Chains A and B, each alone.
Chain A
Amino acid sequence: MRHYSAFSILRNGLSGNKHWSRAWRDPAPKPAYEVVIVGGGGHGLATAYYLAKEHGIRNVAVLEKGWLGGGNTGRNTTIVRSNYMMPGNTMFYERSMQLWENLSQELNYNVMMSRRGYYYLFHSPGQGDTARRRTNIMRANGIDAELFDRPEVMKRLPYLDYSENARFPIYGAAYQGRAGTARHDAVAWGYARAADRQGIDLIQQCEVTGYLWDDGQIVGVETSRGPIRASKVALAVAGHTSHLAAKAGLRLPIETHVLQAFVTEPLKPLVDHVIIFGAEHFYISQSDKGGLVLGGDLDGFNSYAQRGGLPIVEHTLQSAKALMPSLSRLRLLRHWAGAMDMTMDGSPIIGKMPVDGLWLNGGWCYGGFKATPASGFCFAWTIARGESHPDSAEFTLKRFERGYQIDETGAGPHPKAH
């Protein structure tokens, strides 16, 4: 496995790009490992990488039923931000932001982290007060945040609808300048390659179908490629968390819901930032290839289908047009969906489960892409040391029975409302 550098690009370019080595091996599963991670998305791969790098645990396999990054990691709208305000969340997401800053260098893989700035528009004085509160909490925690009034937003984002006809007039925006987007596939591939270089086995086309038990304790997994023993089994399966927990006899505070994303035909550079429409659940950014990337609401009912329905297509495009009338003639190129594990308070779960031998990283709702580095870092810590990392210490299952939910939106125990 060679180091990537400007020199290697030049050398391989000159020799017709025929001599690149594989980015990672394709090993057959061994009969036993110290840790088996289920799920080869960003979170599972990052966990494997940090287990090796931070804790020297290299006898690890990542088992993926499809292909690496084929789940939500490769389906999201790639927004990375740390504008959280609840105790328990705020510093976790800020740690993730700090890890993003140096991630390409650390992994020797360009994850295309682009700090293009993130605007959250508000459309009423009350919404402005809420944005001001969040901005103040962020600044009090040393996180960059600014508040802009309407004239400033008009100067910065001149292409939005500021006319008399605007259904939801723009009063101003909260802004995080260090936020932006990253290339989602590259994040999975970068962690995969870096984990493989540490000696970790990445095993694709290997579905976990159940567990191996010994005296009430989990000691491995049943898979489509045979049984694999492990002292610790760690789940990072996003929308399938409840499904795999049920096989271990656990019921969780989670419902699985579907979220869609959309990309338009490519345009010349138009939208330089990430923009959130505060009146509807709608967000927009522009990919490096020129396509506008659009996201909206959940489809709104429990679903594992990984495909979305037409009502949300219509809703999202109506929002797009209400915010930026100039988009009305654009054609959509593709749309797709991912199945996400929505928790009862909208915040994740990282930790040891009530069944011995089982560890869980899940409940990421639709905000888990930005969390990938910190999630892997904290989950690896938890698995290696048997105790929570301080930054993820509040992400317990127990918080629900203790009454310590971390509810950013204040929506209560309704997963589809977070």
Chain B
Amino acid sequence: MLRIECPVCGLRDETEFAYGEDATVRRPDMDEADVKIWHDYVFIRDNPRGPHKEYWHHVAGCRQWIRVERDTLTHEILGSILAREVAA
């Protein structure tokens, strides 16, 4: 069981959260015309073996989206911040 630090609620069980996706992926501008950039956005991932930035939704808690940094090999949680702070 992962224990994930929610910046609002504190340390909570993984089962209160829903996994979102890779948080390093950014949607291109809507007027972007290069197919390769769209292809990479939709399909291509770094998929690191090690620290990984990812979105989780604290769906059974405060319902905030948070960005967690987690090691994909050890499952150690390295930090988390509110997703809206990432976007800012």
Residues of chain A at the chain B interface (Cβ within 8 Å): 240, 242-243, 246, 251-256, 300-305, 309-311, 344, 400-401, 413-416
B1 located at the interface, meaning its Cβ lies under 8 Å from any Cβ of chain A in the complex = yes
**Secondary structure dominating the interface of B:** mixed
Q: Are B44 and A309 in contact (CB under 8 A)?
A: no
Contact of A254 among B35, B47, B49 (CB under 8 A): B47
The interface bits of chain B over 38-64 (1 if a CB of A lies within 8 angstroms of the residue's CB, else 0) are 011011111111001010000000000
B14 touching A309 by the CB < 8 A rule? yes
The 9 A-B residue pairs with the shortest CB-CB distance, nearest first, are: A242-B47, A253-B43, A301-B19, A400-B43, A304-B49, A344-B43, A304-B73, A401-B39, A243-B49
* B42 to chain A: closest residue by CB: A413
Inter-chain contact A303/B72, CB cutoff 8 Å: yes
Q: Looking at B22, B39, B43, B44, which has the most chain A CB atoms within 10 Å of its CB?
A: B43
Asked if B75 and A253 sit within 8 Å, CB to CB, the answer is no
- What separation, in Å, do the CA atoms of A243 and B2 have in the docked complex? 24
A416 CA to B20 CA in the complex, in Å? 10
Q: How far is the CA of A242 from the CA of B45 in the complex (A)?
A: 9
The reply to whether A254 and B45 contact each other, CB–CB distance below 8 Å, is: yes
Task: Select which of A246, A305, A309 is within 8 A of B72 by beta carbon.
Answer: A305
Least CB distance, B45 to chain A, in whole angstroms: 5
In the complex formed, the residue of A with least CB distance to B39 is A401
B45 in complex: contacting residue of A253, A305, A311, CB < 8 Å: A253
Cα-based distance from A107 to B42 in the complex (angstroms): 42
Cα of A227 to Cα of B2 in the assembled complex, Å: 39
Tell me the minimal C-beta distance from A197 to chain B in angstroms: 35
Q: In the assembled complex, which residues on chain B have CB atoms less than 8 Å from the CB atom of A253?
A: 43-45
Q: Residues of A contacting B42 with CB < 8 Å? A: 344, 400, 413
The answer on a CB contact under 8 Å between B54 and A301 is yes
Q: Is the CB of B75 within 8 A of A305?
A: yes
Tell me the complex Cα distance, A254–B22, Å. 12
Contact of A302 among B15, B52, B74 (CB under 8 A): B52
- A-B pairs with beta carbons under 8 Å apart, 13 shown: A240-B49, A251-B46, A252-B44, A255-B47, A256-B47, A256-B49, A301-B19, A301-B70, A302-B47, A309-B1, A311-B1, A311-B15, A413-B42
Contact A401 B35 (CB under 8 A): yes
Q: B19, A416: Cβ atoms under 8 Å?
A: yes
CA of A285 to CA of B19, assembled, Å: 30
Q: A300-B19, A302-B22 are in contact. Are A311 and B54 (CB under 8 A)?
A: no
**Residues of A with C-beta under 8 A to B1:** 309-311
CB atoms of A302 and B72 under 8 A apart: yes
Q: Are A309 and B19 closer than 8 Å at their CB atoms?
A: no
* Residues of the B chain whose Cβ atoms lie less than 8 Å from the Cβ of A254: 45, 47
Q: Are A255 and B49 in contact (CB under 8 A)?
A: no
User: How far does the Cβ of B13 sit from chain A's closest Cβ, in whole Å?
Assistant: 8
When the two chains form the complex, which single residue of A304, A309, A413, A416 contacts B43, counting CB atoms closer than 8 Å?
A413
What residues of chain B lie closer than 8 Å to A311, measured between beta carbons?
1, 14-15
Q: Least Cβ distance of B5 to chain A in Å? A: 15
In the assembled complex, the CB of A68 is this many whole angstroms from the nearest CB of chain B, namely: 22
| List of B residues within 8 angstroms of A416 by Cβ | 19
Identify the closest chain B residue to A256 (Cβ): B47
Q: For A256, what are the chain B residues with a Cβ–Cβ distance below 8 Å? A: 47, 49, 72
Q: Smallest Cβ distance from A339 to chain B, in angstroms?
A: 9
Docked complex Cα distance between A259 and B21 (Å): 18
Q: How far is A81 from B2 in the complex, measured between Cα atoms in Å?
A: 34
Nearest B residue to A402, CB-CB: B39
Q: A253 to B42, alpha carbons, bound, how many Å? A: 9
A403 closest partner in B (C-beta): B39
Kindly state the separation between the CA atoms of A71 and B77 in the bound complex, as whole angstroms: 26
**Across the interface, which residues of B come within 8 angstroms of A415, CB to CB?**
45
CB neighbours of B36 from chain A (8 A):
401
Q: Roughly how many angstroms separate A413 CA and B45 CA in the complex, as a whole number? A: 11
B46→A303 contact, CB < 8 A: no
Residues in chain B near residue A414, CB distance under 8 A: 21
Task: Provide the bound-state CA to CA distance between A254 and B73, in Å.
Answer: 16
A313 vs B34: C-alpha distance when bound (angstroms):
44
Question: Which A residues touch B75, using CB under 8 A?
Answer: 303, 305
Q: Which of chain B's residues have a CB closer than 8 A to the CB of A401?
A: 35-36, 39
Other-chain residue from B2, B21, B48, B52 in contact with A309 (beta carbon distance below 8 A): B2
- Near A by CB (< 8 A), chain B positions 24-38 give 35-36
Q: Across the interface, which residues of B come within 8 angstroms of A252, CB to CB?
A: 44-45, 47
In angstroms, Cα B56 to Cα A111, docked, is 43
